[in-house]
Amino acid sequence: MRFMKIATMALLMSGVGKIALAEDNIAEAINKDYNYLNTLFEYFHEHPELSFKETETAKRLGEELEALGFDVTLGVGQTGLVAMMTNGEGPTVLVRADMDGLPVKEDTGLSYASKARQVNINGVEMPVMHACGHDVHITSLVGTARRLVAMKDQWQGTLMLIGQPAEERIGGAKAMVEDGLYERFGRPDYALAFHVSAGDEAGKITLSDNLVSSSSNSVNIRVRGVATHGAAPHMGVDPIVIGSQIVLALQTLVSREISPLSPGVVTVGAFQAGFKHNIISDHADLQLTVRANSEEVREKLLKGIQRIAENAGRMAGLPEDMLPIVELEVESTPTTYNNTELANRLDNVWRDRFGDDNFIPYFQDGMGAEDFPYFTRVDPPIPGVYFSVGGTPPEDIIAAKNGGPQIPSHHSGFFKIAPEPSIKMGVEAMTVAILELLPAGSPTS
């Protein structure tokens, strides 16, 4: 790691990091800086790490930012990173980039494809891939930092750059906040983040002034029974039958208890019980994912799951101390909403710079979730904006619409994006947004 730090500092001293000092054109500066950023992107892509195991990723990201003059702290929220830079009086802007990869075997055929394997936090070894674009996010964070450091005479305030762990387990943002993020480093005035989108044209922006993504809860249900021989079911209590009744009853939560105009999802993704044909087990385990677009619907679904599971046990004659055990907060994150005033402010700035043709209207086509709101849903709330940057060449999208190869989805072993337009737009859009939020002028310190 010492070698990488020396190499990074040598590149900066050679002038790579000073590109924009004599230039006002941010896009031109990013173009000149892209070879450096592309090398960094390929490193991150080839060396992914699983959630709460991102130690080497955080070290490399920290070295990049420390070489630029940031005060870097590792190990926040287990494996998270915080990089601070104060450049005179002014607001504090938090910029978050998630770092973790996924337990997916890469099958893209890229020259820099990941061959990594890693033992996860549960002690299981598995393949690892950046199958959701987090390598784009952390590379763009470095690119944004390089531009802003080179333009220090054009802004005042404090930058709080976050390398967040475990977004894929929707636990990293919460872990950082609970580790005293704002008590230790100060409370930001604004919070920003972006995500690259494989489904959208590379380099184009999608911005919502309201809802961005759904809430998510991973729920475990353990159904307890009384084990017995399969030929004598009357001698026991069958947890598989109780579990099956729970699965069917859960379908009524969305279809009969939630308004048809309010989206909600309750999916049972796993149902595991028993080991042998002729043995009725003493328990069955269900794993659920629950999604909603409002906290009201989310609460109603979770309470309904608890009610249905426990009463299914009562119907089977189980005593109160043997009712199904429901864990509602295994992994959870609230709905993500943009601050409307801030979103409209940045929308105006970006449209003036990039033009309306570089925008894709926001449309929710699924109920994916994001843990960014843990940074903003504090008391009082912090204005935040989370936007998307397209990552697929337009010719690939056209070909897919005309019956050609489909665009690989996020979390697929075939997932890949066009890094150059994605990273360049991510850096430029984020840089322009920060310059809008921080006052111009000569720093006082």
* Amino acid identity, position 215: S
Segments in 355-388 forming alpha helices (H): 373-376
Q: Kindly tell me the sign of the dihedral angle through the C-alpha atoms of 326, 175, 139, 202.
A: positive
Quote the pTM value. Answer: 0.89
Q: Is the dihedral of CA 438, 440, 443, 444 positive or negative?
A: negative
**Locate tokens 């729920």: which residue?**
219
Contact 160, 188 (CB under 8 A): yes
Q: Locate 394 and state its tokens.
A: 């337009």
Q: Which of 230, 224, 241 is nearest to 280 (CA)?
A: 230
The SS3 of residue 195 is strand
Tens-binned pLDDT, residue by residue, of the chain (445 aa): 333 333 444 344 333 333 333 335 899 999 999 999 999 999 999 999 999 999 999 999 999 999 999 999 999 999 999 999 999 999 999 999 999 999 999 999 999 999 999 999 999 999 999 999 999 999 999 999 999 999 999 999 999 999 999 999 999 999 999 999 999 999 999 999 999 999 999 999 999 999 999 999 999 999 999 999 999 999 999 999 999 999 999 999 999 999 999 999 999 999 999 999 999 999 999 999 999 999 999 999 999 999 999 999 999 999 999 999 999 988 899 999 999 999 999 999 999 999 999 999 999 988 999 999 999 999 999 999 999 999 999 999 999 999 999 999 999 999 999 999 999 999 999 999 999 999 986 554 4
Q: DSSP labels for 211-265?
A: EEEBEEEEEEEEEE-B-EETT-GGGSB-HHHHHHHHHHHHHHIIIIIS-TTS-EE
Strands 205-206 and 384-392: antiparallel
Cα 399 from Cα 15, distance rounded (Å): 41
What domains can you pick out in the chain, each with its CATH number?
2-214+335-437 (3.40.630.10), 215-333 (3.30.70.360)
d(CA 53, CA 33): 29
The tokens describing 334, both together, are: 């609230």
Report the alpha-carbon distance of residue 444 to residue 441 in Å, rounded: 9
CA distance 195 to 115: 24
Its sign, for the CA torsion 205, 210, 211, 215, is: positive
